[in-house]
Amino acid sequence: MTRIRKLLIANRGEIACRIMSTAKARGIRCVAVYSDADANALHVRMADEANHIGESEPSQSYLNVAAVIGAAQTSGADAIHPGYGFLSESADFAKACADAGIIFVGPPAEAIAALGDKRQAKRRMIDAGVPCVPGYQGADQSEAVLIAEAEKIGFPVMVKASAGGGGRGMRIVERKVALADAIASARKEAESAFGDGTLLLERAVTGARHVEVQVFADSQGNCLHFGERDCSPQRRNQKVIEEAPSPVISPQKREQMGVAAVKAAQAVNYVGAGTVEFLYDPAREEFYFLEMNTRLQVEHPVTELVTGLDLVALQLDVAEGAPLPFKQDDVSINGWAMEARLYAEDPSQDFMPHSGDAAVLEWPDLEGVRIDSGIEAGDRVTTFYDPMIAKVIAHGRDRDEARQKLAAALREIRLLGFAHNRDFLASLLEDETFANGEADTGYIERNLDRLAKRRAPGGDAAIALVGAALIERSFNDHLTGWDSRGASSFPLQLVNTGHEIINAQIRLNGAEVTAIFGEKEVCIEVLEKTGDTIRYRHDGRIIEARYRRNHYHIELDANGAWERYLDFTLAPASESDAGDDIVKAPMAGLITSVKVIPGDPVSKGTTVATVEAMKMEHQLKSPRDGVVAEVLAKEGDQVAIRTKLVVLKTEE
């Protein structure tokens, strides 16, 4: 055995912090690497030492093999843990570590290469006797052949990129007429994301569940499975909620899937932690191999909580050359665990990613709840990387207890500074279909409008709360009729995240704050206001709200709901903020294209520009029919959130 004494973590965010916690507990010194954007990140502060490896763009830093290997050599690290994402499934990186005499905490380069090509991996699985989805994984990639093979498979059919993962280069095609466009789109996305446009086809299984099995193998030839995880609730082929065990897998089926997963790992002489992903058809009670991820998964904590194992510790053991310390019969599943991925994104705006500073961040302290986070209060979420900021994991005696604990934990998170999906996650956990264990891979997409619908913080009292939050000494000069000795009022205009303009009149009378808007009149009694917290009474209930404001928006978090109001003004606007006339950047990012010039006629929904942020490209569309008056941005511009990009001529 070779003891690891100094470990470089070739990653960032919550996974870098999570790996460090186990490594430090073993007495291993930890080395962080960081880009320009991450100079003050939590994983840098946690490490024993940190090495700068390049600019903010991942290609110039976290994906730069030479820079990462150089940092390991400079720091004297004898091992590298890749985490997940970035270089974790790069056979070239694993080989570069071996060539440099550095232990790679992961599988051999040959195993990564064998499983990285989905077409070749599927052929290996068929040869090994692992059930696979009927499909096409041939070398002929012409459009004509792909269309012909899709007709043989039958619709709906799945078009998938052979390289990479994470839902990129993946399209479900319901009818033949849409297939050619799907092939072209998937190929282009795959080439951009992975540098490889090779595709494969698979039968799309309706009502399917995404069930995966955790496997572990050592260098002595032992290979075990640690049960399954159900990751069915997904959006854009990205997992949202994961749990262990699966609510639809029987003990007999669990054993069958475990045996198949071990076969898959042994087929490529696997070593270390890996996940074999299956598509499970509840109607037929059949499962099919999808792919094998040659790394630690984002959702590994749910397996840890039900087995009592530390998977990172086992990775380090195996990397040092130790055999697995137990047999298959020693592995047992105890209770239930669920994980929710907390993202900086806005579900009500098609999950658009956001960036900003975590001005307020408070995690719940509940028994049986674990938080794996990569940020603390005051830290910044940038536009350069995946917008996941934390994983919230709960363990219970049974599924319902774990589910309720997780929902309660999410509702108790206080996070202000950018949009996030906390309320969406809690709503999904409280949804009847999910609670019954019946949510399949398409459930979120089919019910997105309902699940992502925002509810106002504090209910009808939200506008009065905004008014109460704005009553501060620095605002006194702007409050029409303000008099500290008696009643007063002032007008307030807000734009919510749904781009609805809300005009209200705020009336103050001692501790009472009344909001009059539309046909509603809502009154709250402010009991206490300190810092960023308001305690108030409404309809006989006493509620605590948190708020944050800056020069162009105000956020509220109350009664288990969050909302951001944009472009607030404390007087009637002389002219509309032109919600129907102006296209603004919905997040900070890079303008990748501008498709109109002044004088162009546009229809409602026409794409006028695209902006790239957090590894995703977003199309910005015209809010109405009209004519372009001004174009205020060009391709290549880095823009801030709410920057005006395109202005339409005012309607007469």
Q: In the predicted model, is pLDDT for residue 565 greater than 60?
A: yes
With contact defined as beta carbons under 8 Å apart, do 299 and 305 qualify? no
Question: Taking the mean position of all CA atoms in its chain, how far away is CA 441?
Answer: 16
The number of helix segments (H) and strand segments (E) in the chain equals 17, 41
Lowest-pLDDT range of 45-54, 243-252, 461-470: 461-470
Q: What does the pLDDT read at residue 349?
A: 82
Lowest-pLDDT range of 74-83, 130-139, 343-352, 467-476: 467-476
Which range, 135-139, 269-273, 618-622, is most confident?
269-273
Tens digit of each residue's pLDDT (9 = 90 or more) over 514-547: 999 988 999 999 999 988 899 999 999 999 999 9
State how far the alpha carbon of 439 is from the alpha carbons of 129, 206, 436, in Å.
29, 12, 8
Tens digit of each residue's pLDDT (9 = 90 or more) over 3-29: 999 999 999 999 999 999 999 999 999
Reference 461, options 410, 517, 420; nearest CA is 517
Q: What does the pLDDT read at residue 574?
A: 36
Question: Beta 29-35 vs 49-54: how paired, if at all?
Answer: parallel
Q: What does the pLDDT read at residue 611?
A: 85
295, 403, 422, 549: which one is catalytic?
295
Tens digit of each residue's pLDDT (9 = 90 or more) over 311-341: 999 999 999 999 999 999 999 999 999 999 9
Q: What does the pLDDT read at residue 487?
A: 53
Q: In the predicted model, is pLDDT for residue 173 greater than 80?
A: yes
- pLDDT-derived band at 577, boundaries 50, 70, 90: very low
Residue in the structure block whose two tokens are 């198949």 = 260
Q: What does the pLDDT read at residue 189?
A: 87
Q: In the predicted model, is pLDDT for residue 581 greater than 50?
A: yes
Q: What does the pLDDT read at residue 570?
A: 64
Q: What does the pLDDT read at residue 234?
A: 94
Reference 293, options 278, 274, 311; nearest CA is 274
Which of 477 and 372 is assigned the larger pLDDT?
372
Average pLDDT (113-136) is: 90
Average pLDDT (371-387) is: 95
Q: In the predicted model, is pLDDT for residue 203 greater than 90?
A: no
Q: What does the pLDDT read at residue 573?
A: 36
Specify the 3-state DSSP secondary structure of 337: strand
State how far the alpha carbon of 501 is from the alpha carbons of 92, 119, 470, 550, in Å.
53, 51, 18, 19
Q: What does the pLDDT read at residue 477?
A: 39
Q: In the predicted model, is pLDDT for residue 151 greater than 70?
A: yes
Average pLDDT (392-405) is: 98
Structure tokens at 394: 């709960």
Average pLDDT (253-259) is: 96
**What percent of the chain stands above pLDDT 70?**
94
Q: In the predicted model, is pLDDT for residue 106 greater than 80?
A: yes
Q: What does the pLDDT read at residue 243?
A: 98
Tens digit of each residue's pLDDT (9 = 90 or more) over 281-303: 998 899 999 999 999 999 999 99
- pLDDT-derived band at 651, boundaries 50, 70, 90: low
Lowest-pLDDT range of 132-141, 355-364, 604-613: 604-613
CA distance 229 to 231: 6
- Domains of the chain are 6-105 (3.40.50.20), 134-203 (3.30.1490.20), 459-569 (3.30.700), 582-648 (2.40.50.100)
Q: In the predicted model, is pLDDT for residue 98 greater than 60?
A: yes
Reference 173, options 152, 202, 196; nearest CA is 202
pTM over 0.75: yes
Residue in the structure block whose two tokens are 């990186």 = 93
Q: In the predicted model, is pLDDT for residue 177 greater than 50?
A: yes
Has 295 been annotated as catalytic? yes
Q: In the predicted model, is pLDDT for residue 488 greater than 80?
A: no
Q: What does the pLDDT read at residue 475?
A: 40
Question: Taking the mean position of all CA atoms in its chain, how far away is CA 558?
Answer: 23
Q: What does the pLDDT read at residue 652?
A: 59
Instruction: Name the amino acid, one letter, at 567.
Output: D
Q: What does the pLDDT read at residue 462?
A: 93
Q: What does the pLDDT read at residue 481?
A: 41
CA distance 313 to 335: 22
As a whole number, the mean pLDDT across the chain is 90
Q: In the predicted model, is pLDDT for residue 571 greater than 60?
A: no
Reference 498, options 557, 564, 542; nearest CA is 564
